[in-house]
Structure 1
Amino acid sequence: MLIRETPLFIDGPCGQLEALLLEVADARGIVVICHPNPVQGGTMLNKVVSTLQRTARDAGYSTLRFNYRGVGQSAGSHDMGAGEVQDAEAVAAWVRANHPAQALVLMGFSFGGFVAASLAGRLEAQGETLQQLFMVAPAVMRLNEDFPLPQRCPLTVIQPETDEVVDPQRVYAWSDSLSRPHELLKVAECGHFFHGKLTDLKDLVLPRLSN
C-alpha cells in the first residue's frame, strides 16, 4: 500500500508553518528535516530533502518536513538565521506534543544543516535526548557561539567533495576543529545538490539510520 505524506499546519512564532507528515506504523522514531536557503529557492520539496525523507521512511521512521517562515504557505518573511531556528523549534515542540514517546532524529541540508544543528543544540540544552543528527553539505559558516552544537547525540556530516556552494575545505576544517566525536563522510565527484548522486546519499544515510 502506498503511504503518502499528509499536509498540515503547525503554529510557529510568526504564524502557521506549512508541513508534510508521514506516519509509519510501529515507527522506530520520527525524523524532522530542515530545508536549504529560502532566499535561493530552498523549500521542503527540494530533491535532497525529498531523498532524506524517503530514506528515513524506508528505514522505518515517521517523517516531518516543513517550510520556514515566508516559504510556500508558511506565514512571515525570511530571517535567514535565528528566525528559522525558532521555526524549527516550534516544529520540534509540536512533535513532542503529538509523538511524545518517539525517538527524535534531526536532518538538515545546506542552510538546513545549520538550522538542524542549532535546533539540536537548543533541545539538548533543554534536557532533550536526540537519537541522531545528520548535517548534509552544511552551512557551517553560520554556526557560532550563538548557535552551539549538541554535544551528546551522534553526529554525521556528509560533504560533497566538489561542492560549488559550501566550500568543502571549510567544512573539513570545521570538522577538524570539533572536540566532540562525529563522523565525516566525503562524497567524491559530487556537487552541492547531489546531481546524479542522490542514490549515494541514500546509501550513506540508510544504514546509519537502520543500526
Structure 2
Amino acid sequence: MPEVIFPGPEGRLEGRYHPQEKRDAPLAIVLHPHPQFGGTMNNKIVYNLHYAFYEMGFSVLRFNFRGVGRSQGEFDQGVGELSDAAAALDYLQAINQNSRHCWVAGFSFGAWIGMQLLMRRPDITGFVSVSPPANMYDFSFLAPCPASGLIINGTADRIAPPRDTESLVAKLHEQRGITITHTQIEGADHFFRDEESHMKPMLGHVTDYVTKRLTEVTR
C-alpha cells in the first residue's frame, strides 16, 4: 500500500492510501486515536477499519495527525487535528473527482474528530464511530447530525463507559431525518483486544452496516 505525503495546515501529513481501480469508487478516511496516548494511523483498529473499507470497494486513506510519525506540526487539542482531517479529505477528493460517496470512520479520539468533520462537510455520506469518548469530549455540536451512521462500542469499555455512549445515541435518536444505528459488542473493552470474540464481530458489524447502506444508495 503506497505511502503518501500531502499538504496539511502545518506542513506535510503522512498517510497510507489504498485506491480502487474503479474511478468512481466511494471514498473513506480513517482517523486514529489520541496522539498523546500512543495513537497513530497504524493502530490495530484503524488498520483493520482501513482494510474493511477497502474490501468493501472503497478507496481508503488513513494518516497521522500533526506531530505523529512523519507528519509535521504539534498536537493542538483537537482543533488542528480537525483541520488535518479536512485537509486529508480535500486531498482524497482531489485525486478521486469521479467519486459520489464519501465516508469518515474514526476510533476513540478519531471518532470525535470524525463527527466534527461530519458537521463541516455536507458531502460526507455516512460515518462509523468506534468507541466514541462521550465522557471526555462534548458531542453537543451534533445538533442536528447531518448524516446517518453507525456507533459501535464494547460493553466493558472503562475508558469511554457505555452509559455515556448510550446517552449520546439517545440524544441523536431524537433528531429527525437521520438514522443512528448503535451496536454494542458484549464483553469488549475500549480496544476490542480479543481478536475472535471482539475485534472480528466489531468489524463484521461495520461491514454489514456499510454494505447495506451502499446497496441502498446504488439501487
TM more than 0.5: yes
What TM-score comes out, normalization by structure 1 length? 0.91
Note the residue ranges of structure 1 that are not aligned, 5 or more in a row: none
- CA shift, 1:188, in A, is 0.4
1:132 to 126, 137, 141: 126
Cα distance, 1:149 vs structure 2: 6.0
Q: Cα deviations across residues 115-163 of structure 1 (Å, max 9, x unaligned)? A: 1100111112xxx2x2210000012242345x44663322110011101
* 1:176 positional shift: 0.9
Given that 2:118 and 2:146 are in contact with CA atoms closer than 8 Å, whether structure 1 keeps it comes out as no
- Residue of structure 1 in register with 2:215 after alignment: none
SS at match of 1:142: coil
- Matching of residue 162 in structure 1 with residue 156 in structure 2: yes
Q: Which amino acid aligns with 2:62?
A: R
Q: Give the whole-Å Cα distance in 2 for the aligned partners of 1:144 and 1:162.
A: 21
The 5 Å alignment of 1:36-55 reads: 36-55=33-52
User: For residues 75 and 150 of structure 1, do their structure 2 counterparts lie closer, same or farther at Cα, with a shift above 3 Å needed?
Assistant: farther
Aligned partner of 1:85 in structure 2 is 82
Corresponding position of 2:206: 205
Count of residue correspondences: 202
Aligned to 1:122: 120
Letter in 2 for 1:182: I
Between the aligned partners of 2:166 and 2:40, the Cα distance in structure 1 is 26
TM-score, normalised relative to structure 2? 0.87
Distance 1:65 1:149, change over 3 A: farther
Q: What is the CA distance between 1:82 and its match in structure 2?
A: 1.0
**Alpha-carbon distance, 1:95 to partner:** 1.6
22-31 or 114-123: bigger deviation: 22-31
- Give the Cα separation in 2 of the matches to 1:150 and 1:75: 33
User: Structure 2 CA distance, aligned partners of 1:150 and 1:32?
Assistant: 22
Residue type at the aligned position of 2:45: V
The 10-residue stretch of structure 1 (65-74 or 174-183) with the greater mean CA deviation from structure 2: 174-183
In 1, Cα distance between equivalents of 2:62 and 2:144: 21
Distance in 2, matches of 1:133 and 1:168, equals 19
Instruction: Give the Cα–Cα distance (whole angstroms) in 1 for the partners of residues 142 and 167 of structure 2.
Output: 17
Find the aligned partners of 1:66 and 1:85 in 2 and give their Cα distance: 13
Indicate conservation of the 8 Å contact 1:117/1:150, yes or no: no
**What is the alpha-carbon distance in structure 2 between the residues aligned to residue 79 and residue 97 of structure 1?**
26
Assess, with a 3 A threshold, how the Cα gap between structure 1 residues 37 and 171 changes in structure 2: closer, same or farther: same
Gaps of 5+ in 2: 213-219
The aligned counterpart of 1:151 is 145
Give the aligned CA root-mean-square deviation in angstroms: 1.5
What do the CA deviations read for 1:5-46 (whole angstroms, capped 9, x no partner)?
Answer: 210111111100100000112263111000001100000000
Deviation at residue 68 of structure 1 after TM alignment = 0.3
What's 1:108 paired with? 106
Q: Identical aligned pairs, as a percentage?
A: 28
Please identify runs of 4+ aligned residues in structure 1 that moved more than 6 A: none
How many Å apart are 1:81 and its aligned residue? 1.4
Aligned-partner SS, 2:62: strand
CA contact (8 A) 1:36 1:109 kept: yes
CA distance in 2, matches of 1:174, 1:207: 22
